[in-house]
A = this chain, B = another copy of it.
Amino acid sequence: MVQGRELIKGSADPLLLYLISQQPMYGYHIIKELERKSDGYFKFKEGTLYPALHRLEKAGLIQGGWQILQGGRQRKYYHITDKGSSILEEKRNQWQEFLVAMNLVLRPMNT
């Protein structure tokens, strides 16, 4: 039972979880990858992404670790946790169910 926006409210989460599930990634890279893969559609701002990553980490779905580059530059690589993997699976299913429901309403297949 999901109403209106409740599910999609966190539509960013599946995207982030999916990307990180493919390979450990850091924030800036995620922004660039989302834009590249979506053909320029997604342009996550820092104010959206970093809080989202912190939220996912706090929820135990991803785990971050600092990596120091030469010169003192810092990156925080996130990898997905077991919990994150199962939640991702769940969210993908919910996303599909949501799409089905939207199509049922928006496409006049039924009366």
- A-to-B contact residues, CB < 8 Å: 1-5, 8-12, 14-15, 18-19, 22, 34, 37-39, 41-45, 48, 52, 92, 95, 97-102, 104-106, 108, 110
Contacts and interface: CB of A to CB of B under 8 A. Distances in A.
Contacts of A18: 105-106
Nearest to A8: B8
B100 A37 contact: no
B105 A3 contact: no
Given A19-B105, A104-B39, A44 B2 contact: no
A76 to B, nearest CB: 20
A15 B45 contact: no
Given A8-B8, A11-B8, A38 B104 contact: yes
Q: Which 4 pairs show the lowest CB-CB distances between chains A and B? A: A41-B101, A38-B101, A4-B12, A8-B8
Interface centre among A14, A100, A104, A105, by most chain B C-beta atoms within 10 angstroms, is A105
Contact of A2 (B5, B41, B100): B41
